[in-house]
Amino acid sequence: MTETLELDPIFSTDYIKEMVKQMRAIDSYGTYDEWTLEKILAPFVKTKDERRQIPIIGDPDEETLARVKCFYNAIAVLIEKECGHMAVPMVNITHEGFGRALITVGKLVVMDRTVRDVHRFSFDSLSKMKDEADKLLSVALEIVGRYPEVAGL
């Protein structure tokens, strides 16, 4: 585990650290305790071919839904750290794999994403996942900065 941390600086970023915390939080049996960081985050990384092989018919499994929630929970935690106000993620996904993810700060909606094809929720790499989270985080913080009185309610 320490070799990887020394080789890949992405594991020292705040977002990836928070993702690992979120994944460990949903592990009620301690299965992830002995796993490497790569193994814990591996379900978030799939190639386009791997994604194509996942059928989108049927209900998304609970593990996939938990990963989607972890992704948005980690962003909410980072928003909260930056602005000092509680950020609340809300993820609503239908049994068909479609839905919406919101993050609110006070009475202010700082992120609103339509979620599609949850069955195939993944990224090409951890770096791409972090980039996507950073985009959402920067927009959310900009909105909080623009409307601080609403965020403080």
User: What is the rounded average pLDDT of the residues 86-107?
Assistant: 95
Other CB atoms within a 10 A radius of the CB of residue 6 amount to 9
List residues bridging with 111 in a β-sheet.
Answer: 103
Over the stretch 38-47, which tens digit does the pLDDT of each residue have? 999 999 999 9
What is the pTM for the complete model shown?
0.91
In order of their start, the domains of the chain are: 2-151 (1.10.3100.20)
* Residue spans of alpha helices (H) in 9-110: 14-25, 37-41, 48-52, 62-83
DSSP state of 31: G
pLDDT mean across residues, the chain: 92
Q: Please check the confidence at residue 4 and state whether its pLDDT lies above 60.
A: no
DSSP state of 147: -
Report the share of the chain in percent with pLDDT over 90.
85
Confidence of residue 5 (pLDDT cuts 50, 70, 90): very low
